[in-house]
Chains A and B, each alone.
Chain A
Amino acid sequence: DAKTTQPTSMDCAEGRAANLPCNHSTISGNEYVYWYRQIHSQGPQYIIHGLKNNETNEMASLIITEDRKSSTLILPHATLRDTAVYYCIVYGGTSYGKLTFGQGTILTVHP
């Protein structure tokens, strides 16, 4: 079963930052936080991952709290093409090779 909790849906205005929260209170020391998204019915797309430090790439930023029990994915300037289901996944430890997708957050970006 997924070990993360995400809001079911969120809205964001185009051009604004989208902040997607995720709770993972049972995360263990050797598990990473991964984010993927699925646009319509396409294959999931990797966004970013981190262990304990904040991470940034060309797509997004990942902020992980100091106790690692929650994190936030930030899309700095959301566009209509960012409308998708966003999945926060705890990965690693004994579950290598198996991504457990929960229900994710449906992000809708409005004009």
Chain B
Amino acid sequence: NAGVMQNPRHLVRRRGQEARLRCSPMKGHSHVYWYRQLPEEGLKFMVYLQKENIIDESGMPKERFSAEFPKEGPSILRIQQVVRGDSAAYFCASSPETANTEAFFGQGTRLTVV
């Protein structure tokens, strides 16, 4: 059973470009979570999605950031008009449900904005 797959592993974008980060959850998992880890800081929750629904986006910046988890295909975290402060590691996790279960994390996408 493959784990949570994130791609690309490393992404370099110039200021003002768009970044699209992909996350394929583990087989059978319908819950996806995105976290961000700024350099030398802890992991911060961004958004929680189920298939076609955003359940909790309380950690998402109000502008430029969006997330989706379509019925078919991976979950996408999109960052428009990237700025240097967006440089971070973005981790995706998935779980089969939310209650009394563990979330499995991917290896992350390291975004560098130049």
Contacts and interface: CB of A to CB of B under 8 A. Distances in A.
* B and A form one assembly: yes
Contacts of B42: 101-104
Interface in B41-85: 42-45, 48, 55-56, 58-59
Contacts of A92: 99-100
Contacts of A98: 33, 45, 48, 56, 58-59
Question: Chain A's interface: helix, strand, loop or mixed, by majority?
Answer: loop
A97 B55 contact: yes
B45 A100 contact: yes
Interface of A: 32, 34, 38, 41-46, 49, 51, 92, 96-104
Interface of B: 4, 31, 33, 35, 42-45, 48, 55-56, 58-59, 89, 91, 93, 98-100, 102-108, 110
